[in-house]
Every structure is written in structure tokens, then in C-alpha cells.
Chain A
Amino acid sequence: MIRILLASRNKGSMSDLEAGLTGGDVQITRADSGSKGMSMISENIFDLVVTDENLGDMTGLEFIRTIIAKNPMVNCAAVSPLAPGDFHEASEGLGILMQLPARPGKEHAERLLDHLKKILNTMEIK
């Protein structure tokens, strides 16, 4: 079971992504703010957190920074309108596995899951 938390103050902005992720062995949970997301992360295990650019109470990158300070094992992806080079600079050191465009769609869901599974498989020490 792959457990994913989608953090967004606007549910519609990740509806296509959620639709693409749903099904198979994936469980989706929603949070509509950074503080609610942190509360859920402290009580549940997630394999992946996908954050929107702005959660109202904090930016997506601030949310990820808060997550990794408490639980660095959680994989994170982030919606960001920044150019790839600028995103790399802004997110340096945070170990974000993928940058997503605004309103990510089904094709992003597939790439995200493939990438996550690659990482999870590599984590199994041979």
C-alpha cells in the first residue's frame, strides 16, 4: 500500500492528480493547510507528500522543510511555477523528488508513482 498525502488549500487544484493516483494500491489523504498536514504526518505514516505552492499558513517549501526536520524519511513533491533552475536553487537540500506544474494532471500522477516506486525499491537493501 502506497500512502500519499495531498496538501492543498484548494481541493480542485489537485483533483486531476488525485484522480490519476487513485486506484491500485494507493491510499490518498487530504490536508487543506500546512499545520493540518503536519498533524496528520505526526500521526500517520506516509510514503509521499505532495504539496501545493501555497497552503495559506505556509508555503509549500516551508511545509516540506518542516516535514523533513521531523521526519526526513517522508518523500516530498511540490507544485511550483518556478523555472527548473530557480526551483533547484529554492529547494536545495530538501531532497524533493519532483517539481510539478500548477494543477498537475494524470500524466504527472503516473510519472510521480513510477519515480516513487523506483526510490522505494532502491530503499530495500540487497
Chain B
Amino acid sequence: MQNGRIAVPSNGEGGLDATRSGHFGHCDVFTFIDVENGEIKNVSTIGNQGHVQGGCMVPVNLLASHNVNALVVGGIGLRPLMGFKQAGIDVYHDSQRAEIKPVVEDLIAGKLPQIREDQVCGGGGGAANPA
């Protein structure tokens, strides 16, 4: 991904050196990484809105309204995944690493796969939380 905004569900205050949240809908904050010509140009964070049962479109709306192009998750449900697809946000998957920075670097380098529907929570394949 050479240009655009990446969102990573994050723990605590977020940021490039923070750790990833295992459930995007329940994360503390989203870390935004703005990329230009393959380089990280800016890092910012935004607080997640409180999670309400059935409110999984709230973060979809939140990220879409903040011009996010790509999201990296360790796990996600089918409904929010469909929501992100409808919003034009690509969803990438890494279920192994807890740190944000190396996962973002791999996404920028094109090494991160997009999540498949059979990998979603409840989608049959299951998705593990980051270590």
C-alpha cells in the first residue's frame, strides 16, 4: 500500500509503538497511519466509541468518516467485514503479532493478506487473537 490511511485497533493510547487490540470493536483507540509513496508520514489516534451489542457498524462508520483505506485486524465478525467492504475499506489479517509497527510495515510492503470470509469470527474458519 503506497498511499492512504491505515487503521489499527489498538490498546491503551495507541500509536506506532503500541500493541494491537484482539477485537477491533472493543479496542481502546484506533491508530491511524498515513502513508505517502510507501513512507509513513503521520501517526494519529482516535478514541473508539463505546461498544453496544449489535453496534458493530459504529466503528465502520467511524473509520469511513475518517478516510481510512485499510484496516488490520486479528479477528472480525462477518457483519462488520461486509460493512468495511461496502465502505471500500480493505481489511487485512494478522493473527500472530501483537505489535503494531511490524504489521503496518508489512502492509505497506504488500506482504499482508486480506482477510477471507472463511476466516471471520463465526464464518467457519475462526480467527485467532494476536499473541
Contacts and interface: CB of A to CB of B under 8 A. Distances in A.
B54 A93 contact: no
B54 A97 contact: yes
A93 B122 contact: yes
A65 B49 contact: no
Contacts of A76: 54
Nearest to A48: B54
Nearest to B65: A125
B52 A68 contact: no
Interface stretch (B4-12, B34-42, B55-63, B101-109): B55-63
Contacts of B122: 91-94
A122 B79 contact: no
A97 B65 contact: no
B49 A98 contact: no
Interface string B51-90: 0111111101110010000000000111110110010000
A40 interface: no
Interface string A14-43: 000000000000000000000000000000
B50 A122 contact: yes
Contacts of B60: 72
A115 B80 CA distance: 18
Q: A65, A76, A95 — which one has the most chain B CB atoms within 10 A of its CB? A: A95
A125 B120 CA distance: 26
Contact of B121 (A65, A92, A119, A123): A92
A96 interface: yes
B120 A93 contact: yes
A115 B120 CA distance: 25
Contacts of A69: 78, 82
Contact of B52 (A73, A92, A96, A118): A118
Given A95-B80, A98-B54, 16 more contacts: A65-B78, A69-B78, A71-B86, A75-B54, A91-B122, A93-B77, A93-B79, A93-B121, A93-B122, A94-B79, A94-B122, A95-B56, A97-B54, A97-B55, A122-B50, A123-B57
Interface of B: 49-50, 52-58, 60-62, 65, 76-80, 82-83, 86, 120-123
7 contacts: A73-B86, A75-B57, A93-B79, A93-B120, A95-B54, A122-B55, A122-B58
Give 3 closest A-B pairs by Cβ, nearest first.
A97-B54, A93-B122, A92-B122
